[in-house]
Amino acid sequence: MGWPCRRELWGKTLAQARADYATVASAIAEFEPVTMIANHGEEAEQARQACSAAVEVVELPIDDSWLRDSGPIYVWDGDGAQRRVAVHFRFNAWGGKFSPWDRDAAIGRLIAERLGDEVREVSLVLEGGSVLSDGAGTILTTEQCLLHPSRNPERSREQIEQALFDNLGAERVVWLGKGLLEDRDTDGHVDLIAVIVAPGRVLLQTVPPANPNHDHCEENRQRLEAAGIEVTEVPHLPYVEVAGERVAASYLNLYICNRAVVVPVTGGPSDGDALSIIGHAFPDRELVAVPGAVIAYGGGGPHCITQQVPA
């Protein structure tokens, strides 16, 4: 996980963001080891004071806290040795939106080297939140993000697919259309609208017809079903006001950890129904609700601020 550090993005919510990040980290630490990445000095000390003693705080330079997007993506090498390899894609701050990003562009390699893992550098610009893998050869993504001209304008759709095949062990890519209209920062990341429950099963964001996201949510459902994937709809997308802004707080930007699922909630009337649907999809895991509104204001949720490392 990354500690909140870019103050201009958080404004008056920075203190609450830090508290909520610490809550997420401490919740996950009940089930698996957690490392929090923080800038040297004051920010690292703030993280140590806020998180439980079970959270290890490591001081490495970062620009932003969204380690899902800038951190290493781990795969198992297929040469028979079954060694852990960190794939380090290029990072350009979601199409150059937030400067500077040089520290985030390097953090994936630094984390992997600290863990003693082999690093595979890939020239493709790719954020971890823009892809979901079922671990069995299928990757979900959105055309809105991966084909966005601010990422890899020199590459065709087929070339981008081939890079996913070559570096993430994929055998097919299922392309959804768009993410949430409210997701302006990341250009439609898939991790705000879908969760892979198991190979061939997906939780999908849907909304009522009056919501402007309705048509492309429906199109995403049709694309998944056409690909032979079983869809369970999550028809709740709460909107909350944070720092004077109306924010869409997706329940699906959740984190699946060992024996648990950590789900962002807002305290609103749809929390119970959404948790029930998600809990039914993961009957063998404990459901842990954490505050989601302020992290959504920053641009994500528990999934966006975490990146798992296999044992």
Per-residue pLDDT of the chain (311 residues; tens, 9 = 90+): 999 987 666 777 899 999 999 999 999 999 999 999 999 999 999 999 999 999 999 999 999 999 999 999 999 886 666 789 999 999 999 999 999 999 999 999 999 999 999 999 999 999 999 999 999 999 999 999 999 999 999 999 999 999 999 999 999 999 999 999 999 899 999 999 999 999 999 999 999 999 999 999 999 999 999 999 999 999 999 999 999 999 999 999 999 999 999 999 999 999 999 999 999 999 999 999 999 999 999 999 999 999 999 98
**Residue-range definition of the domain harbouring residue 242:** 7-298
Q: Which of 5, 145, 217, 304 is catalytic?
A: 304
Q: Based on the residue annotation, tell me whether 145 is a catalytic residue of this protein.
A: no
Report d(CA 91, CA 106) in Å as an integer: 8
Residue 305 lies in a domain: no
How many domains would you assign to the chain? 1
What does each C-alpha distance from 93 to 11, 193, 201, 252 come to in angstroms? 19, 20, 31, 22
Within a domain: 143: yes
Let me know if residue 55 belongs to a domain: yes
Asked if residue 309 belongs to a domain, the reply is no
- Taking residue 48's Cβ as centre, other Cβ atoms within 10 Å add up to 16
Integer Cα distance of 178 and 190 in angstroms: 8
Decide: pTM greater than 0.75.
yes
Does 304 reside within a domain? no
Q: How many CB atoms lie within 10 A of CB 236?
A: 21
Domain annotation covers residue 310: no
Side-chain-side CA neighbours of residue 158 (13 Å) = 0
Any domain includes 258: yes
Q: Using alpha carbons only, give the angle 227, 231, 234 rounded to the nearest 5 degrees.
A: 145
Cα–Cα dist 10/210, whole Å: 30
- Is the residue at 311 inside a domain? no
CA atoms of 19 and 114, how far apart (whole Å)? 27
Q: Say if CB 204 and CB 216 are below 8 A apart.
A: no
Indicate which CATH number applies to the domain containing 134. 3.75.10.10
Tell me the CA distances in angstroms from 32 to 14, 37, 168, 198, 223, one per residue in order: 26, 16, 24, 20, 35
pLDDT computed for residue 81 by the predictor: 63
